[in-house]
Amino acid sequence: MYNLLKGKKGIIFGALDAKSIAWKTALACHAEGAEILLTNAPIAMRMGEINKLAEIINAPVIPCDVTSNDDMLNLFTKAKEHFGGGVDFILHSIGMSMNVRKGKHYTEIDYAFNQKSLDISATSLHRLLATAIKLDAINEWGSVVALTYIASQRVFPDYNEMADAKALLESITRSFGYHYAVKKHVRVNTVSQSPTRTTAGSGVKGFDGFINYAEKMSPLGNASAEDCANYCVTLFSDLTRMVTMQNLFHDGGFSYTGVTTGVIEQMEK
């Protein structure tokens, strides 16, 4: 360990169970010396898993449904009380598609579901940042990271409406990133992660084919959740102070690979 986050305080959204990227990131941040506050939707917290993580890293847990302005306000107010001031980093590791859950094809989505999906998966980042800026809850040179997927830029048909949600998430990252940088030197980035076996990830139709294909198409192979957690640690650290408004690929080279010999050999069979 490098003590990269010694003395830093952070909020981690989205640790559902031990497979969650947020769970691994909380462990990695703790190992690097950070103090953490955990949060998730009240319904996810009822499953009780998050309390195990809270115990391991000695973190308080405050419920927050990210579609609720009141919950968000309450979370940041309590976080300020708990830490005696602002935080240095925040992980937004949240995604949910109502239409995928209900088995709706992209060409036939239900728009009420769609609104909910966009609210949870993308607008929530705006709500988070807007609440933080209003309460002055992020310290100078703080860092906010949200997780995304390359389906925002290229078509992966079964990613469905989440592709649109991720495109919006990345746009909010740029737009709010500008304002927060000017106002308080706070940086905002997205990490575009390889397919990863988690509860949200496995919800994508044909996930096994999807993850195996990505593995074959990535010169380094798929990036694991642990690797993603380590990357997030660097983005929360002072070593990346001038990086903001970026979509950063963390995918073993997948995003810039046209084809690999492994895939060619597979096609020749």
Ligand X SMILES: NC(=O)c1ccc[n+]([C@@H]2O[C@H](COP(=O)([O-])OP(=O)(O)OC[C@H]3O[C@@H](n4cnc5c(N)ncnc54)[C@H](O)[C@@H]3O)[C@@H](O)[C@H]2O)c1
Q: Residues interacting with ligand X, by CB under 6 A?
A: 14, 16, 20-22, 40-41, 44, 65-67, 93-96, 120, 147-149, 193, 195-196, 198-201
Cβ-based nearer residue to ligand X, 95 or 177: 95
- Owner of token pair 């691994």: 24
**Are 252 and 223 within 8 A, CB to CB?**
yes
Cβ-based nearer residue to ligand X, 10 or 14: 14
Q: Give min distance, CB of 148 to ligand X, in A.
A: 6
Q: Give min distance, CB of 137 to ligand X, in A.
A: 17
> Which residue's beta carbon is nearest to the bound ligand X?
201
Q: Burial, 229: exposed, middle or buried (Cβ in 10 Å; 0-12, 13-18, 19+)?
A: buried
Cβ-based nearer residue to ligand X, 139 or 193: 193
Cβ-based nearer residue to ligand X, 220 or 264: 220
Q: Give min distance, CB of 90 to ligand X, in A.
A: 13
Q: What are the CB-based long-range contacts (under 8 Å, 24+) for 50-57?
A: 50/15, 50/16, 53/15, 53/18, 53/23, 53/26, 53/27, 56/27, 56/30, 57/26, 57/27, 57/30
Cβ-based nearer residue to ligand X, 91 or 186: 91
Identify the bridge partners of residue 146 per DSSP, sorted by sequence position. Answer: 92, 190
Q: Give min distance, CB of 198 to ligand X, in A.
A: 3
Q: Give min distance, CB of 196 to ligand X, in A.
A: 4
Give the dihedral of Cα atoms 208, 191, 72, 45; nearest 10 deg. 30
